[in-house]
Structure 1
Amino acid sequence: MRYSFTSKVTRSTTVKRWLAEQGVSHRLFKKMLADHLIWVDGQASGNGPVEAGQIIRFEIPTSKTLTPEFAPLEVIYEDANWLIVSKPAGLTSVPGPHTPNSSLLNRIAGYLVEQKIDAPQPAIMTRLDRDTVGLVLAAKHPYAQGRFDQAHQRTLTKHYLAVVSGKLPSPKGEIDAPLKLAADGIHRIVAADGQAALTKYRVLKEKT
């Protein structure tokens, strides 16, 4: 089973332009085109003109590049397009060189396979580090991922509870320091050539 969607056109345009406005990326559109997974009013279609009132139906192509992992997955919320799952400590969010077939993403793929989705292509939208425990938002398919990237990426805020050693200079403040990947390929460190990172913190409790 593939994910399938319909969209009613409201003005004169082309299939590609209309779907792009709905959140279909250029890359996804090319795959759908190559696999003949676009229909206009029930007829197979390419990137042709469309008029107001016509119905475009499209399906998400399958991909076998992600190995499903059939392991426990704690689902906190689910709808037709999204999953919110709880990531345990010690599990990476996405596959890496040392764990190409075992990650939270692989487990989500396994979960979707069990729901009869053919060769699913989920995407982690809010990654957490391997040793971090918390909620992760995942798109079930590339169309949901594209809509998120188009509309919501810059409005997302993450909140963490952390245990730190030492004493912070004040009970509330900001840490503005660039971060980059450490030599072990897992942890991150403060470095002048890292990516900009701003952390706002507030001390909740101190151990005496």
Structure 2
Amino acid sequence: MKYHGPPLRQFVYLSMAMVLICGCSRDYESIVAVNNTNPDSGKRAFTDVMGDAAKEFVDLERMEVEVDSSEIKVTLDLVNIPPLLLFNHDALANNLLNYSWHAIFDLDSNNQLSLNDLLLAVNRFKVPNVAQFEGDLLSNTQHGLWEGTGNGARFIAHISASVTGDKIEMVFDKADADSLFAKIHPSTNIIFETYFYDGVMEAEDRFPD
């Protein structure tokens, strides 16, 4: 579904401080369209409407989240991830968000990124003094755990990620941040978002809408 919050290009990359800033202020719907779900089992699956994003590589098709005692795994199935993507577009201003595929663990269930919420993300920001180039998604993105600050989020730890075909998988291991890991439960509200901006056009998707 379409993302109706503030533009995700407001996320700013600071290479040393690793701070993610976003003026999130709008409310969102609660998750209602859930398929093959049993929160008590630790695994949930969600299906989104295909064809509602301007770019297939940000068009969500199916999402899964699995929580167990040692790791949290998020899987995003996109309509199509090409072997190569264009990064650091010439028209994009420095430090703005170029790509993002992420899941927000909405701990306070207010359906927006807010204080203490946790976010798993595979993303890419425009890096200064780096020319536009082509490359694969996995090798040219950051893979991280972020924590909401109330007016944005701060980088906490690196996570593992993989890309297989049209599927992105993110894994938050308990050892990465033990105290934060304990805040997420099988029934924790979750929001899935994707974003692309090349300095000229945006493409985005969100579930739930």
Q: So what's the TM-score if we normalise by structure 2?
A: 0.24
The structure where strand makes up a greater share of residues is 2
Higher RCO, 1 vs 2 (CA within 8 Å, ≥6 residues apart): 2
The structure where helix makes up a greater share of residues is 1
Q: So what's the TM-score if we normalise by structure 1?
A: 0.24
